[in-house]
Amino acid sequence: LSFSMFLYVNLLDSRSVMGDLGWIAYPKNGWEEIGEVDENYAPIHTYQVCKVMDQNQNNWLVTSWISNEGASRIFIELKFTLRDCNSLPGGLGTCKETFNVYYFQSNEKDGRNIRENQYVKIDTIAADESFTELDLGDRVMKLNTEVRDVGPLTKKGFYLAFQDVGACIALVSVRVYYKKCTSVVRNLALFPDTITGADSSQLLEVSGKCVNYSVTDESPKMHCSAEGEWLVPIGKCMCQEGYEEKNNTCQPCRPGFFKSSPQSLTCNKCPPHSFAQEEGSTSCVCEEHYYRRETDPYIMACTRPPSAPRNAISNINETSVFLEWMFPADTGGRKDVLYNIVCKKCNNLSGLCEECGIHVRYFPQQSGLKNTSVMVIDLEAHTNYTFEIEAENGVSEMKMGSRRFVSVNVTTNQAAPSPISIVKKGKITKNSISLSWHEPDRPNGIILEYEIKYFEKDQETSYTIIKSKETDITAEGLKPASSYIFQIRARTAAGYGAFSRRFEFETSPVSFAATGDQSQIPIIAVSVTVGVILLAGVVGFLLSGRDRCHLMVDYFYGFNCIHPMLMRCGYSKAKQDPEEEKMHFHNGHIKLPGIKTYIDPHTYEDPSQAVHEFAKEIDASCITIERVIGAGEFGEVCSGRTKLPTKREFNVAIKTLKVGYTDKQRRDFLGEASIMGQFDHPNIIHLEGVVTKSKPVMIVTEYMENGSLDTFLKKNDGQFTVIQLVGMLRGIASGMKYLSDMGYVHRDLAARNILINSNLVCKVSDFGLSRVLEDDPEAAYTTRGGKIPIRWTAPEAIAFRKFTSASDVWSYGIVMWEVMSYGERPYWEMTNQDVIKAVEEGYRLPSPMDCPAALYQLMLDCWQKDRNSRPKFEEIVSMLDKLIRNPSSLKTLVNASNRVSNLLVEHSPSGNGAYRSVNEWLEGIKMARYTDTFVENGFSSMDAVTQMTLDDLRRFGVTLAGHQKKIMNSIQEIRAQLLNGMVPL
């Protein structure tokens, strides 16, 4: 790119000098000035010399001093005529056809006195055209023009000298000039006049200055060439906000137009519902009642809140209501219309309404609904409700009182039965109490059965439940002369009603006991036996047909918790009487010999009883606190040493309860010990004991040298082998398997709640009651009031508090991700709300960097939406064991192109690839001959196939290397597709 904006600046032009040029010729008879006039009769200075006949000519003509005006390269243009020697008869021997040009630099005008040999020769000048006598006769002047340049000049000025050595010359004009790149505006930057460089190939870099009302990030540049041309422009200025470019200047936007950023080229017309009265506007102002959100682009029309939704209808199903409506007639010009539901419960008589409260649930949610329907459940039966469905959009909050809604009135119908209010006592013996009762006032449906709960007064933690279809029962096997509390509730298709109030009855004293009641003893004995036999797998035949025999399934609950799979078939299989059945509970759980079940310390009325049941009391004098290592919810966490009577001294961690605690704090604090004390597993933090008899109250656990796992991994980023990381994960999974086998749901499984010791053994820690989540800084309040560590929690646990071992598996998947990414924060800096939304929409965390594909697949399995499809901890442990035994299976990494960093991966929950069956897949890759082999070896589904390793292939006889390669490559491809979310559901 070049711009011919150059300029000659004359330092001397002999033609334009009106008076004496002041040049000196020597010898005197050499060059002589001839006064002539040009065609306009203006005088011109011409110097001539023509000593062609004489030998040894050396005629000099020296100019006056010429200032170079700062230029370091100057140009000399000579116009002259020269006589052709051939046309000079007799002068041939001495006649010349050239002359020489010299220069001499000096700061002052003293050069005239210097010697000839101090002049520097510029060039010998020859004529392109010489002329003859004949030409003269014709008055044709053959004028030659020659240009020479000189540089670099180092002084302020110079003299020129013309040496004639015997030619016939007329020097018609001498012009001396330099070149400069003239001031120019390019890309809205002004570049000043710039004298070219000294060197003929030099480019001078020149910075431009932005013209008025323009700006730039980086100042623009151009280059001035030796020829005085501007070359290679770099960068540009842009008209600032409110200004646009016109003819190399920035002009303000006209009224009614705006420009909000320097980057836009021209001013834009104000969008609808906005105006700009001033010129030079950077944005337009919204008309009255119209608004612009901060995030709305200025080019977008101003908008207003929407009108109310239309045509709302309800569909009532017992105590649930499905509401549907149409979008508002006027969306206010926006697409971001959302709906909120306001629920009001109204009194039939007074007509007064109140807020529905937090127990009512909304699906998918109560506020911010994108779709035009919602399901509302858990309403009260036979109650009038008013639902206000309001529409809002991005600018609703900018206008007070702008929310418009449509109302729907509904009355719920069937509900659970109302509580039983009348209970009468019947026959009472020393071992039994008979009762009868009335149907509830409002059965709200057909009563399917009654549930009678009773317990000895003040012994509520050990109660019995009887189920009956009749409205009377006899509670047997009671202690003589003892008070018993009874509560009854009814069940219909709508579920259980509330328990009745407590009714208290007392058995007879022994003195007037009917001896016939001894008959109960064998029943109890049999019952206990049955309980045990049941557990041994012989179910419910012993007592079949016995009328109203009350089976004591003392051990049932314990059994259920140990084997969740059997839970559903639990007591119904044990039922010996279709009309009535009975279970006995101790703190909700009964221990079976040899099988351990977690017991919730809440079931103890007195928690200090629980803590002493599960934790050893340590004498404070056995503990030496050494230093504080952290802060817990209840007080400091310290490290120290313990010397117990039977053991040698060892390191411990000590959690203390700060002074000034409340009773509840003490209970909650020791609650953790009551839970931890029930566990005994190498991957669960081990409780040494508690100090409760002196202050401060302490919980003493084994010491884990490397502290919490997340901090440890962050500190040692990239330091471990994959096998080491998988070893950590294996430990955590094993601890979690133990907890889930015990029926304990952790609810707050996260790397920060795993501790790691000096051998890199990971142990699950942080057990608590309700406070588990209260003291986790990650836990956030959900719309339903609970506090939940959103990023780690399964969607069903967030949505409706369905915390199970399957939701712990989800959290385990997140822990896997944390471990494989060395303590990266799951979902980075996304907000909790965005995390919930993304997960709900099927997005999942992408694979951590350098993560083995098998591990990432396991994470995705843990994050299956359907909790029943997630692997069990037992399966996770065995899968990790398999990977550890076969480290080559960890070599296949999720490759970089499949890792979508900083983007969540859309997850295909079916997880079976694009092929519907193994056969279809093998046919597709022309390997159908192996279909039977695959199926026989347990790889009958595409899900299973994605887990297959080369070793598996070898094991079941695919020995040809080509076939192995073909199959493994295809599996690899399917995995990659799955990871990329490319496979349709």
Confirm whether residue 633 is marked as ligand binding.
yes
Least separation, in Å, of the C-beta of 459 and ligand ACK? 37
Q: Is 632 in the site for ligand ACK (CB under 6 A)?
A: yes
Least separation, in Å, of the C-beta of 630 and ligand ACK? 2
Q: What angle do the packed helices 873-885 and 805-820 form, to 10 degrees?
A: 30
Confirm whether residue 636 is marked as ligand binding.
yes
Q: Please identify which residue in 356, 704, 726, 790 interacts with ligand ACK, judged by CB under 6 A.
A: 704
Radius of gyration of the chain (CA): 50
Q: Is 909 in the site for ligand ACK (CB under 6 A)?
A: no
State which residue, 661 or 800, has the beta carbon closest to ligand ACK: 661
Active site residue 748: yes
Confirm whether residue 3 is marked as ligand binding.
no
Q: Is residue 804 a contact partner of residue 867, using CB atoms and an 8 Å limit?
A: yes
Q: Is 683 in the site for ligand ACK (CB under 6 A)?
A: no
Q: Is residue 18 a contact partner of residue 43, using CB atoms and an 8 Å limit?
A: yes
Cα 317 to Cα 323, 377, 385, 928, distances in angstroms: 11, 9, 14, 52
CA–CA separation, 773 and 787 (whole Å) = 6
Q: Is 284 in the site for ligand ACK (CB under 6 A)?
A: no
Q: Is 255 in the site for ligand ACK (CB under 6 A)?
A: no
The single-letter code of the amino acid at 32 is E
Least separation, in Å, of the C-beta of 823 and ligand ACK? 11
Stretch that binds ligand ACK, among 25-33, 112-120, 578-586, 706-714 (CB under 6 A): 706-714
CA–CA separation, 587 and 593 (whole Å) = 16
Q: What's the distance, CA 670 to chain centroid?
A: 38
Confirm whether residue 66 is marked as ligand binding.
no
Nearest residue to ligand ACK on Cβ basis: 630
Stretch that binds ligand ACK, among 201-209, 420-428, 590-598, 701-709 (CB under 6 A): 701-709
Least separation, in Å, of the C-beta of 253 and ligand ACK? 58
Q: Please identify which residue in 464, 692, 701, 807 interacts with ligand ACK, judged by CB under 6 A.
A: 701
State which residue, 655 or 737, has the beta carbon closest to ligand ACK: 655
Least separation, in Å, of the C-beta of 301 and ligand ACK? 53
The tokens describing 441, both together, are: 């006032």
State which residue, 162 or 634, has the beta carbon closest to ligand ACK: 634
Q: Please identify which residue in 444, 597, 708, 740 interacts with ligand ACK, judged by CB under 6 A.
A: 708
Could you write out the DSSP letters of every residue in 94-126? Answer: T-BSEEEEEEEEESSS-GGGS-GGGSEEEEEEE
Least separation, in Å, of the C-beta of 685 and ligand ACK? 6
CA–CA separation, 534 and 539 (whole Å) = 5
Binders of ligand ACK among 643-682, rule CB under 6 A? 653
State which residue, 710 or 952, has the beta carbon closest to ligand ACK: 710
Least separation, in Å, of the C-beta of 435 and ligand ACK? 52
Least separation, in Å, of the C-beta of 596 and ligand ACK? 22
CA–CA separation, 513 and 520 (whole Å) = 13
Q: Please identify which residue in 75, 703, 822, 921 interacts with ligand ACK, judged by CB under 6 A.
A: 703
CA–CA separation, 381 and 417 (whole Å) = 10
Stretch that binds ligand ACK, among 213-221, 351-359, 370-378, 700-708 (CB under 6 A): 700-708
Q: Is residue 445 a contact partner of residue 417, using CB atoms and an 8 Å limit?
A: yes
CB-facing half-sphere around the CA of 171: CA atoms within 13 A: 31
x-or-dash pattern for ligand ACK, window 162-191, by CB under 6 A? Answer: ------------------------------
Q: By CB under 6 A, how many residues form the interface with ligand ACK?
A: 13
Strand blocks (E) in 476-612: 483-492, 495-496, 503-506, 580-584
Residues 410, 412, 414, CA angle at the centre, nearest 5°? 160
Question: If DSSP codes are grouped into helix, strand and coil, which group holds residue 803?
Answer: coil
Position of tokens 């021997």? 93
Q: Is 625 in the site for ligand ACK (CB under 6 A)?
A: no
The tokens describing 443, both together, are: 């059965």
Stretch that binds ligand ACK, among 452-460, 484-492, 702-710, 788-796 (CB under 6 A): 702-710
Taking residue 61's Cβ as centre, other Cβ atoms within 10 Å add up to 24
Binders of ligand ACK among 729-788, rule CB under 6 A? 755
Least separation, in Å, of the C-beta of 710 and ligand ACK? 8
Q: Is 894 in the site for ligand ACK (CB under 6 A)?
A: no
Instruction: Please list the alpha-helical segments (H only) found in 444-517.
Output: none
Confirm whether residue 631 is marked as ligand binding.
yes
Q: Is residue 161 a contact partner of residue 104, using CB atoms and an 8 Å limit?
A: yes
By C-alpha distance, which of 975, 967, 980, 966 is closest to 907?
980
Q: Is 640 in the site for ligand ACK (CB under 6 A)?
A: no
CA–CA separation, 83 and 966 (whole Å) = 94
The tokens describing 960, both together, are: 């040809």
Own/partner contacts of 959-964, CB < 8 Å, gap of 24 or more, are 963/927, 963/930
Q: Is residue 95 a contact partner of residue 85, using CB atoms and an 8 Å limit?
A: yes
Active-site option among 517, 577, 710, 748 = 748
Q: Is 927 in the site for ligand ACK (CB under 6 A)?
A: no
Q: Please identify which residue in 368, 630, 682, 924 interacts with ligand ACK, judged by CB under 6 A.
A: 630
Residues that bind ligand ACK (CB under 6 A): 629-630, 632, 637, 653, 685, 701, 703-704, 707-708, 711, 755
Q: Annotated catalytic sites, by residue?
A: 748
Annotated binding site: 629-637, 655
Annotated binding site for ATP: 629-637, 655
